[in-house]
Amino acid sequence: MALDRRQSVVLESVRRFLRRSAYSHLIKLLAKARPQDFPSIYEALPDREGMQIFRLLAQRRPELGADLLVELPHGEAPAVVRKLGPALSAELLAHCAEDDTADVLAALEEEERQALLEAMRPEDKLAVEKLLLFDEETAGRIMTTDVFALHEDTTVGDAITELQAREDVEMAFYLYVVDERRHLVGVLSLRQLLLHPPETRIGSIMNTDLLVVRADADQEEVARVATKYDLIGVPVVDDQGRLAGMVTIDDVIDVMREEATEDIFRMAGTSEAERVEPSIVKSARVRSPWLLATFVGGLLASFVIGYHEEAIQSVALLAAFLPIVLGMAGSAGNQTATVMIRGLATGRIHQGMFMEALWRESGVAVLLGLLYGVLLGLGSWVLAIVFATDVLGWWAPAVIGLSLTVSMLISTTIGAVFPLVLERIGGDPAVSTTPFVTTATDVFGSLTYLGLVTWLLF
Amino acid sequence: MALDRRQSVVLESVRRFLRRSAYSHLIKLLAKARPQDFPSIYEALPDREGMQIFRLLAQRRPELGADLLVELPHGEAPAVVRKLGPALSAELLAHCAEDDTADVLAALEEEERQALLEAMRPEDKLAVEKLLLFDEETAGRIMTTDVFALHEDTTVGDAITELQAREDVEMAFYLYVVDERRHLVGVLSLRQLLLHPPETRIGSIMNTDLLVVRADADQEEVARVATKYDLIGVPVVDDQGRLAGMVTIDDVIDVMREEATEDIFRMAGTSEAERVEPSIVKSARVRSPWLLATFVGGLLASFVIGYHEEAIQSVALLAAFLPIVLGMAGSAGNQTATVMIRGLATGRIHQGMFMEALWRESGVAVLLGLLYGVLLGLGSWVLAIVFATDVLGWWAPAVIGLSLTVSMLISTTIGAVFPLVLERIGGDPAVSTTPFVTTATDVFGSLTYLGLVTWLLF
Residue pLDDT tens, chain B, 458 long: 456 777 788 888 999 999 999 999 999 999 988 888 888 888 888 888 999 999 999 999 999 999 999 888 777 888 899 999 999 999 999 998 888 898 889 888 888 999 999 999 998 898 888 888 888 889 999 998 888 899 999 999 999 888 888 766 655 678 899 999 999 999 988 888 888 888 999 999 999 988 899 999 999 899 988 988 888 889 999 988 899 999 988 889 988 888 888 888 887 777 766 655 568 888 888 888 888 988 999 999 999 988 888 888 888 888 889 999 999 999 899 889 988 888 887 777 777 778 888 888 899 999 999 999 999 999 988 888 888 766 567 788 899 999 999 999 999 999 999 998 888 888 778 777 888 888 899 999 999 999 998 888 87
DSSP state of A135: P
B284 — contact with chain A (CB < 8 Å)? yes
Chain A residues closer than 8 Å to B338 by CB = 264-265, 267-268, 270
CA–CA separation, B67 and B59 (whole Å) = 14
B426 — contact with chain A (CB < 8 Å)? no
- Tabulate helix, strand, coil % of chain B (nearest 5): 70, 10, 25
Chain B residues closer than 8 Å to A307 by CB = 387
Nearest CA in chain B to A384: B306
Nearest CA in chain A to B225: A36
Chain A residues closer than 8 Å to B265 by CB = 338-339, 342
CB contact under 8 A, B232 and A253: no
B344 — contact with chain A (CB < 8 Å)? no
CB contact under 8 A, A335 and B368: no
Helix (H, G, I), strand (E, B) or coil at B213: strand
Cβ contacts below 8 Å, chain A against chain B, sum to: 303
Position A1 scores a pLDDT of: 46
Q: What's at B220, amino acid-wise?
A: E
B342 — contact with chain A (CB < 8 Å)? yes
Which run of H or of E encompasses B21?
A: none
Residue (of A223, A148, A235, A229) closest to A193 by Cα position: A148
Residue (of A181, A325, A288) closest to A240 by Cα position: A181
DSSP state of B135: P
CB contact under 8 A, B164 and A194: yes
CB contact under 8 A, B302 and A321: yes
CA–CA separation, B121 and B346 (whole Å) = 43
- Considering only residues 62 to 91 of chain A, which have any Cβ-Cβ distance to chain B shorter than 8 Å? 73
Query: Of B264, B278, B303, which is closest to A383 when you measure between CB atoms?
Result: B303
Among B161, B300, B324, B389, most A C-beta atoms within 10 A, so best to mutate, is: B324
CA–CA separation, B371 and B380 (whole Å) = 14
B442 — contact with chain A (CB < 8 Å)? yes
Other C-beta atoms closer than 10 Å to the C-beta of A367 total 18
Query: Of B298, B322, B331, which is closest to A269 when you measure between CB atoms?
Result: B331
CB contact under 8 A, B309 and A387: yes
A197 — contact with chain B (CB < 8 Å)? no
Q: Which residues on adjacent β-strands are paired with residue B363?
A: none
A321 — contact with chain B (CB < 8 Å)? yes
Chain A residues closer than 8 Å to B350 by CB = 1-2
CB contact under 8 A, B316 and A321: no
ipTM of the complex: 0.77
A192 — contact with chain B (CB < 8 Å)? no
> Would you say A154 and A185 are in contact if contact means Cβ atoms under 8 Å apart?
no
Query: Of A253, A270, A287, which is closest to B256 when you measure between CB atoms?
Result: A253
Helix (H, G, I), strand (E, B) or coil at A212: coil
Nearest CA in chain A to B285: A368
- Name residues of chain A where pLDDT drops below 50: 1
CA–CA separation, A26 and A14 (whole Å) = 6
CA of residue B119 relative to chain centroid, distance: 33
Nearest CA in chain B to A292: B372
CB contact under 8 A, A264 and B264: yes
B424 — contact with chain A (CB < 8 Å)? no
A161 — contact with chain B (CB < 8 Å)? no
- Considering only residues 17 to 36 of chain B, which have any Cβ-Cβ distance to chain A shorter than 8 Å? 34, 36
Query: Of B2, B73, B323, which is closest to A442 when you measure between CB atoms?
Result: B323
B11 — contact with chain A (CB < 8 Å)? no
- Residue A427 CB-density burial (10 A; 0-12 exposed, 13-18 middle, 19+ buried): middle
Helix (H, G, I), strand (E, B) or coil at A418: helix
Going edge to edge, which strands form the sheet with B243-248?
Answer: B213-214, B233-237, B243-248
A269 — contact with chain B (CB < 8 Å)? yes
Query: Of B172, B302, B331, which is closest to A294 when you measure between CB atoms?
Result: B331
CB contact under 8 A, B364 and A280: yes
A283 — contact with chain B (CB < 8 Å)? yes
> Would you say B217 and B143 are in contact if contact means Cβ atoms under 8 Å apart?
no
> Would you say B78 and B104 are in contact if contact means Cβ atoms under 8 Å apart?
yes
Output the CA torsion B332→B333→B337→B339 (10° steps): 20
CB contact under 8 A, B291 and A332: yes
Nearest CA in chain A to B311: A316
Chain A residues closer than 8 Å to B320 by CB = 301-303, 305-306, 309
CA distances (Å), origin A387, targets A318, A383, B194, B284, B449: 12, 6, 84, 33, 20
CB contact under 8 A, B250 and A230: yes
Chain A: nearest CA to B118, how far in angstroms? 32
Chain B residues closer than 8 Å to A265 by CB = 338-339, 342
Task: Label the pairing between strands A213-214 and A184-189.
Answer: unpaired
A302 — contact with chain B (CB < 8 Å)? yes
- Residue A21 CB-density burial (10 A; 0-12 exposed, 13-18 middle, 19+ buried): exposed
Neighbouring residues of B435: CB distance < 8 A, sequence distance ≥ 6? B269, B289, B290, B293, B294
- Considering only residues 116 to 155 of chain A, which have any Cβ-Cβ distance to chain B shorter than 8 Å? none
> Would you say A404 and A369 are in contact if contact means Cβ atoms under 8 Å apart?
yes
CB contact under 8 A, A301 and B290: no
Among B40, B147, B158, B299, most A C-beta atoms within 10 A, so best to mutate, is: B299
Query: Of A280, A299, A306, which is closest to B360 when you measure between CB atoms?
Result: A280
B274 — contact with chain A (CB < 8 Å)? yes
Task: Give the global pTM.
Answer: 0.79
DSSP state of B217: S
Query: Of B274, B346, B364, which is closest to A287 when you measure between CB atoms?
Result: B364
Position A278 scores a pLDDT of: 64
Among A162, A261, A302, most B C-beta atoms within 10 A, so best to mutate, is: A302
Chain B: nearest CA to A45, how far in angstroms? 14
